[in-house]
Amino acid sequence: MLSTGNALTSDIAHDQTTLFRSDGLCFPHLVPTTLCRRATAPRYLRLARLKDSLSRLSEPQVVALGQLLPGLLCGEESSFHVFWREGHRGSNVQVSHSEALADQIALEELEHERLLQDLRACCPVPNDLASTLARTRRFFRRMASRDPAIHFARVAALDSAVCIVLSTLVKPLSRATALIEIFNRIRSDEARHVRFSRWHSYDLGADTSLLAKTAARIRGELVALLYPLGSAFEDLGLDADHLFRRIAMQNSGSYEQEL
Across the chain, mean pLDDT equals 85
Q: Which residue did the predictor score with more confidence, 96 or 192?
A: 192
d(Cα 238, Cα 226) in Å, to the nearest integer?
13
Identify the three-state secondary structure at position 93. coil
Residue 257, pLDDT > 50, answer: no
**The model's pTM:** 0.86
d(Cα 211, Cα 14) in Å, to the nearest integer?
34
Question: Could you give phi then psi for residue 147, rounded to 5 degrees?
Answer: -90, 110
Q: How many CB atoms lie within 10 A of CB 178?
A: 18
Burial of residue 175 (number of CB atoms within 10 Å: 0-12, 13-18, 19+)? middle
Residue 105: C-alpha distances to residues 22, 46, 255 (Å): 17, 23, 19
Residue of 182, 247, 181, 180 whose CA lies nearest to 215: 247
Residue of 228, 237, 229, 232 whose CA lies nearest to 172: 237
Asked if residue 136 lies in contact with residue 225, where contact means CB atoms within 8 angstroms, the answer is yes
Q: Give Cα 216 distance to the centre of its chain.
A: 19
pLDDT band with cut points at 50, 70 and 90 for residue 33: low
Residue 9, pLDDT > 50, answer: no
Residue of 66, 92, 77, 90 whose CA lies nearest to 27: 77
pLDDT band with cut points at 50, 70 and 90 for residue 235: very high
Residue 1, pLDDT > 50, answer: no
Domains along the sequence of the chain with CATH: 26-258 (1.10.620.20)
Residue of 54, 120, 118, 62 whose CA lies nearest to 236: 62
Residue 21's pLDDT is 59
Residue 36's pLDDT is 57
Bridge partners for 30 per DSSP: 21
Mean pLDDT of 164-192: 96
Give me the percent of the chain exceeding a pLDDT of 70: 81
